[in-house]
Structure 1
Amino acid sequence: MVEEVFFATGNKGKIKEMRPFFEDREIELRQIDVDVPEIDAMDVERVAERKVRDSFEKALSQDLVDEDDLLIVEDTGFYVEALNGFPGPEAAFFSRTVGVDRLPALMNSVDDRSAYFKTAIAAKKQNQLKVFTGKLEGKVPEKPQGDSHDHLPYNSYFIPDGRESSLAEKSMHSDENFHRTEAAISFLENYIGASPR
């Protein structure tokens, strides 16, 4: 069984969100910060696949991992139906440049407020590469609900289907976040054969 997984990310929020699922399976999640450019694509699977290849190669060259180590990357897009899927995988760029707080203004005259998060986790070890995805559907409220921290800024602007509260108003280990990180659970159970303790 795998006992250690390297997570290539500079985002502390992603580490905080993912770590409990790994700890429940007695797997140490180790963060490594390797800066690699992202491809411009609306498909999070393609972005994650390219990112894990580049991250693995760079981490190897810096002696951060060995060829036999398992490295993962995670990429999440936030897709708003009324905005033709925008911002999608560009969610982080939109948040930094325009500001996620501008999202309600962009949807002022919009009736269809449906949106979804799509997460892709790409895993690479030696010559093997796999990509797993998860999707969480919901809607954008007319105004933010709860306080998102800087690392997960969209959580105040998303209410999962069947709920009245935003992700920001739920705990990190809530069932809504479980579905948002469904890819991680799939990855653990199907790829490395881990099961909760």
Structure 2
Amino acid sequence: MQLVFATNNLNKLKEVQAMLPAHIKLLSLADIDCNEDIPETQSTIEGNAIQKAEYLKKHYGYDCFADDTGLEVEALNGEPGVYSARYAGPQRNADDNTYKLLTKLEDKTNRNAQFKTVIALLLNGKLHTFTGICKGDITKEKQGEGGFGYDPVFKAQGHNKTFAEISLEEKNSIGHRGKAVKQLVEFLK
């Protein structure tokens, strides 16, 4: 089976490929010569994932899946949420986004947050969605060198290390994207 994952994010591609069974060949946008920015104009994480998958199917014809992920912080009324990648501006800079988040949380004692990933799969003309949530909290400063995005400031519930301080395998086993991908893999079986 061959599926296109609607992403140019090599970190996401690596995370997802590590979880898929060997019989599923994962293609990236680069593999199908899709070099354009796929629209993400919906007001929800699920809406963006569906929009990206539908765009790819309509314009390139492949069975595919797309994901969208957001960090939802309780004390900030769910921010950055659907705007997580561009929280500090259209340049989509992870350091800028993290700095803005930590600055907005400086005087907050409630640091509860959750990562949420929605995967939209278009397969044989049918749409299926899978949602993964990982609850945790935001640290007061960056910790760790691994991961990407908000990983250096997010600790999953029951864990004392940030996503940037743990292995990819451990992150996949407890994280939001890993939970959504596990549902996708079960469905594809």
Q: What TM-score does the superposition give when structure 2 sets the normalisation length?
A: 0.87
Q: What TM-score does the superposition give when structure 1 sets the normalisation length?
A: 0.83
**Alignment partner of 1:99: what SS?**
helix
Task: Tell me, in whole angstroms, the C-alpha distance in 1 between the residues paired with 2:74 and 2:146.
Answer: 22
Number of aligned pairs?
177
The one of 66, 76, 81 aligned to 2:74: 81
Give deviations 1:39-97, integer Å, cap 9, x for gaps.
231x211211122111211222xxxx3xxxx3011111111111110010211111526
Residues 148 and 154 in structure 1, CA contact (< 8 A), matched pair in contact too = no
In the alignment, structure 1 segments of 5+ residues that lack a partner are none
Task: Tell me, in whole angstroms, the C-alpha distance in 1 between the residues paired with 2:112 and 2:40.
Answer: 27
2:184 is aligned to 187
Give deviations 1:104-146, integer Å, cap 9, x for gaps.
1110110100000000000002320111100000000011110
Task: Tell me, in whole angstroms, the C-alpha distance in 1 between the residues paired with 2:76 and 2:161.
Answer: 23
Q: Displacement, 1:177?
A: 2.5
The one of 23, 39, 42 aligned to 1:40: 42
Q: Displacement, 1:178?
A: 2.3
Q: Displacement, 1:25?
A: 4.5
The one of 96, 105, 108 aligned to 2:106: 108
CA-atom RMSD, angstroms? 1.6
Task: Tell me, in whole angstroms, the C-alpha distance in 1 between the residues paired with 2:116 and 2:97.
Answer: 20
1:161 maps to a residue whose letter is Q
Give deviations 1:124-171, integer Å, cap 9, x for gaps.
02320111100000000011110245xx22100100000100000011
1:158 maps to a residue whose letter is F
Whether 2:12 is the aligned partner of 1:17: answer no
The percent of aligned pairs where both chains have the same amino acid is 29
- With 131-140 and 31-40 compared, the bigger mean Cα shift is at 31-40
Whether 2:20 is the aligned partner of 1:30: answer no
2:64 is aligned to 71
